[in-house]
Amino acid sequence: MAAALNVGRREQGRTWPNPAVGALVVRDTANGPVVIGRGWTARGGRPHAEPQALAQAGEGARGATLYVTLEPCSHHGGTPPCVDAVRAAGIARVVAAVQDPDFRVAGRGFAILREAGIGVDVGIGAAQALVDHAGHMLRVTEGRPHVMLKLAVSADGKVGLAGRHPTAITGETARGRVHMLRATHDAVLTGIGTVLADNPLLTCRLPGMEDRSPLRIVLDADLRLPPTSALARSLDVAPLWIVAAEDAPAEPETVLGAMGIEVMRVRRRPEGGLDLDDTLKLLALRGLTRVMVEAGPRVAASFVAAGLVDEVNLFEAPTVLGVGALDALEGLPLSALGDYLSVVEEQWQGVDRLRIMRRR
Ligand SMILES: NC(=O)c1ccc[n+]([C@@H]2O[C@H](COP(=O)([O-])OP(=O)(O)OC[C@H]3O[C@@H](n4cnc5c(N)ncnc54)[C@H](OP(=O)(O)O)[C@@H]3O)[C@@H](O)[C@H]2O)c1
């Protein structure tokens, strides 16, 4: 199952609206178990992992075991149900990590397999599968994507110089890790404040992984995004969506729309800024499962305060920016992350410490 989970993560960030599933077909031989088929959800969500693993195994699948990281689907979506492919291949036993909460499946996949006389075991590797499939799970159960907040802070908890002037905080290794995180998320979301201060690209620029740049999203209530910004000028690398307020002016939308930038509108919050519940609901309806928030202190604090952060990747540099520099979360202490998230992993990325926190 650990190997199935590993192959399942291969296209993570590129399978939305579908989950990134992994599957292995394993045969017992005189020399022990042998993997004879491997599959993972393809870019765009199809084909699914199981038919690919079964096709690779061919006739060898008869009497073999299928390890799969999520319950095989039982409904006719864009592809025929995976349970049909499993039955037709003659698989004797299915070992699945977790049940799919999607109402079209929700245990029916397992029931169909059992009715066909196939042995079904569920729960092996479940803890990791729940992490890997968290985006899919949240989208189908709560109608919102999984939200991962990335923060790069100085030793004194600051994210920028006074006056919102950009500065590099973490080192080369940590920056590489951030690009890897971008590659494995469906979208990177930022605020217009960061766009105006830093003019970022928000692409994945790791050598050999340039085609893994995620969709970029900007929260920009009044449509202030400059058509000359790096984001607007890199649509050939990755698409750009802007979330604006319902009452934002129409003219900039016409200009940005003509460039190929999609503008969507949500309510403003009474206290200012866009309604984040509405924003996330909209993004889930559009198929997004994994959103990485890489924004300044205003947007970051809004997500934390609204209880909408599921995971934090907190990079802490050894440098000190000093009094007057920008706090990581506007109006909130950095310790507010601990209100509903706990550290699950700590590691070093070069000279910078990375703490991964998840919702309790
Ligand atoms: N170290 C890091 O990890 C990191 C990462 C990114 C940025 N930064 C730094 O952050 C600074 C920019 O900070 P910032 O706070 O101005 O940028 P921001 O948080 O990215 O953007 C803030 C803007 O987003 C818009 N917005 C829309 N809905 C919102 C909501 N619900 N809550 C909050 N804001 C919402 C608001 O403008 P409208 O009302 O016009 O929509 C707001 O002014 C720069 O110095 C940059 O270098 C650091």
Domain ranges of the chain: 2-134, 144-359
pLDDT (mean) for 95-102: 96
Tens-place pLDDT, residues 136-161: 999 999 999 999 999 999 999 999 88
pLDDT (mean) for 50-69: 97
* pLDDT value at residue 289: 98
The β-bridge partners of 241 are 217, 262
Contacts 24+ apart (CB under 8 A), 337-343: 337/304, 337/309, 337/312, 340/307, 341/309, 341/311, 341/312
Annotated binding-site members for substrate: 182, 202, 205, 294
Q: Fold for domain 144-359?
A: Dihydrofolate Reductase, subunit A (3.40.430)
pLDDT over 80 (residue 266) = yes
Composition of the chain by helix, strand, coil, percent to 5:
35, 25, 40
Q: How many CB atoms lie within 10 A of CB 78?
A: 10
Banded model confidence at residue 230, pLDDT cuts 50, 70, 90? very high
* pLDDT value at residue 79: 75
pLDDT over 90 (residue 167) = no
Ligand 1 contact via 252 beta carbon (within 6 Å) = no
Ligand 1 contact via 199 beta carbon (within 6 Å) = no
Secondary structure (DSSP) of 53-93 = HHHHHGGGGTT-EEEESSPPP-S-SSS--HHHHHHHHT--E
Ligand 1 contact via 276 beta carbon (within 6 Å) = yes
The whole-chain average pLDDT of the chain stands at 96
* pLDDT value at residue 33: 95
Q: Determine contact, residues 341/173, Cβ cutoff 8 Å.
A: no
- CATH code at 2-134: 3.40.140.10
Percent with pLDDT over 70 in the chain? 100
pLDDT over 80 (residue 273) = yes
Please indicate whether residue 50 is annotated as part of the active site: yes
Q: Which atom of ligand 1 is nearest to the CA of 165?
A: 45
Q: Which amino acid is at 110?
A: F
CA distances from 246 to 154, 297, 329 (A): 37, 24, 26
Query: From ligand 1's centre to the CA of 338, what distance in Å?
Result: 21
**Interatomic CA distance for residues 187 and 30, integer angstroms:** 47
For ligand 1, atom 34, name the residue with the nearest CA.
Answer: 299
For ligand 1, atom 16, name the residue with the nearest CA.
Answer: 193
Query: From ligand 1's centre to the CA of 195, what distance in Å?
Result: 8
Tens-place pLDDT, residues 202-222: 999 999 999 999 999 999 999
236 burial class (0-12, 13-18, 19+ CB within 10 angstroms)?
exposed
pLDDT (mean) for 59-64: 96
